[in-house]
Amino acid sequence: MILFLAARPVAPAPVRPARRRSPYARLFAVPGTRAFTAAGLLARLPTGMLSVSAVLMIAGTRGSYALAGAVTATGLAATALAGPWTARLVDRHGQARTAVPATAVAVLGSLSLLLCVHSGAPDWTLFASYAATATTPNTGGLCRARWAHLLRADPAARHTANSFEQAVDELCFLLGPVLATLLCTSVAPEAGTAVAAALLLAGVLLLAAQRRTEPPAIPPPPGPAGSPLRAPGLPPLLLTFLATGAVFGSLEVVTLAYADAHGFRPAAGGLLALQAAGSGAAGLLCGLLPPAARPARRFLRCLAAMAALLTLPLAAAATGTAPLLAAALLTAGTATAPAMVTGMGLVQSRTPAGRLNEGMTLAVTALLAGIAAGSAAGGWAAEHLPSPAAGYAVPAAAAALALTVTAAATARTARRTA
């Protein structure tokens, strides 16, 4: 009996399949990524604070949303002009050598704006001070450049990293307005600007200290090189980014003015945060998908969804009900991040080799110019249209324009290839 038992074959233990790691877990397994991501988050949080803080500070002390919108539009327009030059210096001389002094100048501009508002200086000083913040480096671009450098041999991982960075952008636009509104309404009108300036300087200093993941400086290319603006398919993309930026800029000012008119101004930051929350969640889900086989078609679908969903805040605002408007903004936000992620991927694929940073900077410049135009249009609409709810027609129209431009460009390309 003992011999019989000993001779019996032993069944092998079941082999458990290896647990598949998520794409995001694989991203942060790369050494140094967690450190620069944390520093970049701190540096980017003021992005969602500065314009909201400026609008609340100026409107609260000067009593004019039109003036507040015009001042922030001027600053964003100046940033759109200075941004490509700042980015080019970063590429040529490295992030640490360029971003730190550029940030110091921008922080001085924010502090100058604060002092001018606090002391009752003439209106023109507000425009000059906020224009000085144009040297603020594109902190999101600094982080994306680090990912591109670390993952240069893995396109799928770069797609996931781009989606993650878009979600981080939305997170900053989620937390930033809430923090800015709390500071400006509960502490002092100038508190939001002061805290945002301090966070920006601290975040950029910490990011610059992460030298292990910093991309190497790129020397100027030898000989003349054509502008990315001449690359096939890129100009329509930049026009689309311009219209998309107008969506963001107008939505911010219109929501602040609408909340003020209906007596729930402290909740304005929360309403903007809900829109960013929907966008951030959609961006993270987009990162779990594989890169699109036909990204131009996916981009068109994302813009169509954005144009359709941005009619919801216009309809909800007409009811005067804050919860309904909050739900509409949350739903409308789910289309923006996928459109931005897909659009940025198209910019990268259509930019000539060796000019990628310039092409990406042009896309950001178009976006900032659109935000500036949208901010000014939203401020005008808040003061001159018959009702505050009608202001939400501005972001809805901007989204429809973005869809129209892309649809026309897609049809033109189809006719050429037919």
Confirm whether 51 is domain-assigned. yes
Indicate left, alpha or beta for 138 from its phi (over 0: left) and psi (-120 to 50: alpha): beta
Q: What pLDDT is stored for residue 407 in this prediction? A: 92
Confirm whether 408 is domain-assigned. yes
- Please list the alpha-helical segments (H only) found in 183-290: 191-209, 234-261, 268-288
What single letter denotes the amino acid at residue 23? P
Confirm whether 26 is domain-assigned. no
Confirm whether 25 is domain-assigned. no
Q: What pLDDT is stored for residue 107 in this prediction? A: 94
Structure tokens at 31: 């050494």
Q: What pLDDT is stored for residue 108 in this prediction? A: 95
Structure tokens at 314: 């216009």
Buried b (16+ CB within 10 A) or exposed e, 299-316: bbebbbbbbebbbbbbeb
Q: What pLDDT is stored for residue 300 in this prediction? A: 92
Query: The tokens 């998908």 sit on which residue?
Result: 289
Q: What pLDDT is stored for residue 5 in this prediction? A: 39
Q: Are the C-beta atoms of residues 217 and 90 closer than 8 Å to each other? A: no
pTM of the model: 0.75
Q: Which helix (H) or strand (E) holds 122?
A: none
Confirm whether 20 is domain-assigned. no
Confirm whether 222 is domain-assigned. no
The residue range of the domain holding 340 is 34-217+228-417
- Please list the alpha-helical segments (H only) found in 318-392: 322-333, 336-350, 356-384
Angle between helices 356-384 and 139-150 (to 10 degrees): 150
Q: How far apart are CA 38 and CA 105, in angstroms?
A: 23
CATH number at residue 205: 1.20.1250.20
Confirm whether 299 is domain-assigned. yes
Q: How far apart are CA 107 and CA 126, in angstroms?
A: 14
Q: What pLDDT is stored for residue 20 in this prediction? A: 63
Q: What pLDDT is stored for residue 344 in this prediction? A: 82
Query: DSSP states of 223-240 as a string?
Result: S----GGGSTTHHHHHHH
pLDDT per residue rounded down to tens, the chain (418 residues): 343 334 444 444 444 444 567 888 888 888 889 999 999 999 989 987 888 889 889 988 888 888 888 888 888 778 878 877 887 788 788 888 999 999 999 999 999 999 999 888 898 999 999 999 989 888 888 888 888 888 888 888 888 888 888 788 777 776 787 788 889 888 988 899 999 999 999 999 999 999 889 888 777 665 545 566 777 788 889 999 999 989 988 888 888 888 888 777 667 777 877 887 888 888 888 887 777 778 888 899 999 999 999 999 999 888 877 889 889 999 998 888 888 888 888 887 787 655 666 677 788 788 877 887 888 888 888 888 888 788 899 999 999 999 999 999 888 877 776 5
Q: What pLDDT is stored for residue 17 in this prediction? A: 46
How many domains, the chain?
1
Cα torsion 183, 187, 190, 195 to 10°: value is -50
Task: Determine the straight-line distance between the first and last CA of the chain, rounded to whole angstroms.
Answer: 82
Confirm whether 5 is domain-assigned. no
Q: What pLDDT is stored for residue 353 in this prediction? A: 59
Q: What pLDDT is stored for residue 4 in this prediction? A: 39
Q: What pLDDT is stored for residue 202 in this prediction? A: 95
The neighbour count for residue 225, using CB atoms within 10 Å, is 13
The C-alpha angle with vertex 62 and arms to 57 and 66, in degrees rounded to 5, equals 85
List all residues 6 or more positions away from 104 whose beta carbon is below 8 Å from its beta carbon: 201
Q: What burial class does residue 54 get, using C-beta atoms within 10 Å of its C-beta: 0-12 exposed, 13-18 middle, 19+ buried?
A: buried
